[in-house]
């Protein structure tokens, strides 16, 4: 094996190009993820309160507990990935074998038996939602880690994360266009339906949708598994717990990224559960959930193709630092938008959506860069646990953000639609709580996140220096491990 100079290594990364099928295939993975994940984020709170008949307070507690469990499931999955090496690679086997169980558990989560009493329903919800979180970790952690193993090029990684976010946004659009119009169509029938009949009809919508997603999602995961291949070599096939700790403890960029993302995502996940309530009680009809999703996903889809060029022009660090301004401006304006003002509300949601698109895309690119930083500091490459720690942060914020959204409904005195078929007249305090969750909470969280990220130390230029030095060091050591596990001498 010939040893290249640092300059020759750098030139290799400049010239590297991933096949288009790999970039597109990677996006299909997040499309499939969002058929399960975004379904829960956007509709599970609504499903539990207005279809399953659980109280907002009990759901708030469950969201906090189960999503905290999900966070630790991520760490378990990360360690499992770092201990794995097969002829198929480290990450792809999890995507192949976890697809069907994940999507089936999504079906079970949205299928709480109506015959159970409140306590049994709550127990069923805990068990199925916790199971969904565990299997999601066993698929999503390898999927997220796969990007850092496919390429070490800044520009090619930017294409992967853009494709990922494009796929995720497309999944969200499919979700909203399938479910929201069907729920809205029942509005005309509600005066002639009993509460039980209304719940049964909405349950049928979720049942049919999750079964359809099992088919579509499985095919999408298979596309990712087939077209996305691991290319990065490593110095050892498996990583011990001690090696993992050595890699993580000195990874300052990862610490700053997780801390900043913690606050950004609290706002994001609080909004996810509140959107359907905002559509129904602030804009006036649950059908506007389609418009909300279209605006948010539309911003993502429009922005995604330009993100690699923006990264090349400004760098990921600078873009991530300032994209929170959109969240602040849009969120504050949205909070003060009057009830029923649909056009201004959608405009300010669009401004917020630009910030969310950039934040949610760039943080995955930044996370992939911290893998190289950890390898540079410790000599060990731990994609799985590094991504798991980042995902751990996301799950903790999902727990807090989701619980915050549910708690805001309870604090505001929200009246569940299960008490009567017709939409109940919500107290002003409930409307204010919904508006604050949609706009004010994300704005405040973004201010804190920007202040934390100010000291992030890993610019794109510094990343390239670290990567080239690490690859040169590995070549000098020899005895490298290829993605399929065989030794390169």
Residue 28 has pLDDT above 80, yes or no: yes
On whether the CB atoms of residues 358 and 321 are closer than 8 A, the answer is no
User: What pLDDT score was predicted for residue 420?
Assistant: 44
User: What pLDDT score was predicted for residue 269?
Assistant: 80
Residue 32's alpha-carbon distances to 36, 39, 44, 286, 387, in angstroms, are 7, 11, 17, 25, 19
User: What pLDDT score was predicted for residue 285?
Assistant: 79
Residue 96 has pLDDT above 90, yes or no: yes
Q: Which of 227-241, 301-315, 321-335 has the lowest mean pLDDT?
A: 227-241
Q: Which residues contact 312 (CB under 8 A, 6 or more apart)?
A: 155, 158
**Phi, psi (5° rounding) for residue 29?**
-65, -45
Angle at alpha carbon of residue 171, lines to 163 and 207, rounded to 5°: 155
Residue 144 has pLDDT above 50, yes or no: yes
Please give the model's pTM, rounded to 2 decimal places: 0.76
3-state secondary structure 429-486: HHHHHHHHHHHHHHHHHHHHHHHHHCCCCCCHHHHHHHHHHHHHHHHHHCCEECCCCC
Q: What is the DSSP string of 354-390?
A: HHHHHHHHHHHHHHHHHHHHHHHHHS---HHHHHHHH
pLDDT tens by residue, 338-382: 888 899 999 998 898 888 888 888 888 898 888 888 888 887 788
Query: What whole-number distance in Å separates Cα of residue 460 and Cα of residue 169?
Result: 26
Better-predicted residue by pLDDT, 438 or 243: 438
pLDDT tens by residue, 411-463: 888 776 554 444 567 788 888 888 888 889 899 999 999 999 998 988 888 88
Residue 3 has pLDDT above 80, yes or no: no
Residue 6 has pLDDT above 60, yes or no: no
Structural domains of the chain in order of their starting residue, each with its CATH number: 20-225+257-488 (1.20.1250.20)
Dihedral in degrees, nearest 10, Cα atoms 85, 89, 94, 95: 170
Q: What interhelical angle do 154-185 and 342-378 show, nearest 10?
A: 140
Most confident stretch, 46-50, 243-247, 411-415: 46-50
pLDDT tens by residue, 166-209: 888 788 778 767 776 777 676 666 666 677 777 788 888 888 88
């Amino acid at each position: 094996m010939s040893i290249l100079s640092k300059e020759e290594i750098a030139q290799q990364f400049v010239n590297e190009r991933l096949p288009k099928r790999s970039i597109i295939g990677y996006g299909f993975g997040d499309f499939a993820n969002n058929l399960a994940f975004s379904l829960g984020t956007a509709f599970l709170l609504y499903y539990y309160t207005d279809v399953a008949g659980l109280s907002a307070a009990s759901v708030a507690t469950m969201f906090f507990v189960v999503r905290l469990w999900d966070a630790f499931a991520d760490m378990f999955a990360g360690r499992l990935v770092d201990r794995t090496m097969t002829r198929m690679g480290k990450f792809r086997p999890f995507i192949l074998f976890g697809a069907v169980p994940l999507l089936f558990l999504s079906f079970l989560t949205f299928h709480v038996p109506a015959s159970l009493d409140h306590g049994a329903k709550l127990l069923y919800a805990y068990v199925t939602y916790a199971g969904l979180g565990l299997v999601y970790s066993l698929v999503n952690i390898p999927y997220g880690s796969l990007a850092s193993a496919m390429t070490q090029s800044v520009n090619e990684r930017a294409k992967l994360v853009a494709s990922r976010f494009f796929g995720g946004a497309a999944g969200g659009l499919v979700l909203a266009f399938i479910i929201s119009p069907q729920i809205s169509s029942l509005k005309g029938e509600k005066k002639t339906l009993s509460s039980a009949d209304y719940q049964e009809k909405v349950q049928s919508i979720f049942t049919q949708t999750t079964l359809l997603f099992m088919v579509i999602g499985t095919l999408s995961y298979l596309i990712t598994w087939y077209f996305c291949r691991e290319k990065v070599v490593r110095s050892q096939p498996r990583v011990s717990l001690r090696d993992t700790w050595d890699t993580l403890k000195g990874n300052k960029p990862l610490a700053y990224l997780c801390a900043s993302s913690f606050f950004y995502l609290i706002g994001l996940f609080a909004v996810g559960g509140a959107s359907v309530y905002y559509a129904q009680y602030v804009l006036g009809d649950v059908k506007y959930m389609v418009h909300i999703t279209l605006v948010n996903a539309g911003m993502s889809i429009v922005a995604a193709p330009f993100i690699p060029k923006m990264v090349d022009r400004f760098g990921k660090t600078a873009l991530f630092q300032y994209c929170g301004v959109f969240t602040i401006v849009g969120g504050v304006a949205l909070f003060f938008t009057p009830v029923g003002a649909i056009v201004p509300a959608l405009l300010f949601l669009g401004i917020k959506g630009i910030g969310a698109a950039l934040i949610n895309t760039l943080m995955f690119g930044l996370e992939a860069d911290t893998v190289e930083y950890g390898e540079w500091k410790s000599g060990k490459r731990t994609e799985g646990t590094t991504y798991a720690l980042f995902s751990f942060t996301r799950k903790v914020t999902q727990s807090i953000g989701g619980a915050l959204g549910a708690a805001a409904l309870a604090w505001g005195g929200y009246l569940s639609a299960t008490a009567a078929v017709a939409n109940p007249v919500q107290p002003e305090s409930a409307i204010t709580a919904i508006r604050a969750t949609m706009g004010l909470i994300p704005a405040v969280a973004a201010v804190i996140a920007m202040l934390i990220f100010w000291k992030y130390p890993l610019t794109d230029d510094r990343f390239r220096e670290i990567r080239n030095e690490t690859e040169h060091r590995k070549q000098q050591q020899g005895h490298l491990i290829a993605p399929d596990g065989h030794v390169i001498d």
